[in-house]
Amino acid sequence: MEKKLILYAEDDSDDRVIFESSFSQNTDEVDIQIFNDGLELLHHLRAESDLQPHLIVLDINMPRLGGKDVLRILRDMPLYAKIPVVLLTTSSSPIDRFFAQHFNAEFITKPMDEKEMHTIKKELLKFCEENHLFGS
């Protein structure tokens, strides 16, 4: 079975820890690469031009380059235009939700604890397993 690659851009260290620990039981099937912000993630994608992640997870509010800006850029890059993207955020704004929908991304409110993250993890793995392409 091929390992699923998930890229996660998040500036909050507590959120990164919760995310990583929720996948700790899945290390044989999932490889998580974490970036401190959207700019760092984009630099990595440009440096590794053959990298094909199964899923990209973005926080909306990050310094230097936020998740919405990264999503716009990804959708303009042919190699990443159809990669599933999830905006994982504290926002509950209908405008942010509409933005995600417009750019063929999922919108999930961040969990408050590890138990909620376990439920979200199942959704994220489903996107990887089904090779889920939003908008298709």
Domains of the chain (ranges; CATH) run 4-106 (3.40.50.2300)
Reported confidence tier of residue 74, pLDDT bands at 50, 70, 90 = very high
Residue 6, pLDDT > 80, answer yes
pLDDT in tens, 95-136: 999 999 999 999 998 866 777 888 888 888 888 776 544 443
When the pLDDT of each residue in the chain is averaged and rounded to a whole number, the result is: 87
3-class secondary-structure state, position 126: helix
Query: What does the alpha-carbon distance between residue 10 and residue 60 come to, in Å, rounded to a whole number?
Result: 9
Calculate the dihedral angle through the C-alpha atoms of 11, 77, 125, 28, rounding to the nearest 10 degrees: -80
Q: Output the CA angle 56-68-136, nearest 5 degrees.
A: 55
CB atoms near residue 24 (< 10 Å): 9
Residue-level pLDDT at 118: 80
Residue-level pLDDT at 134: 43
3-class secondary-structure state, position 94: helix
Higher pLDDT, 118 or 82: 82
Residue 1 near residue 27, CB atoms below 8 Å: no
Among candidates 108, 100, 12, which has minimal Cα distance to 63?
12
Percent of the chain with pLDDT over 90: 49
Tell me the average pLDDT across 31-54.
Answer: 91
Residue-level pLDDT at 45: 93
Tell me the average pLDDT across 19-31.
Answer: 84
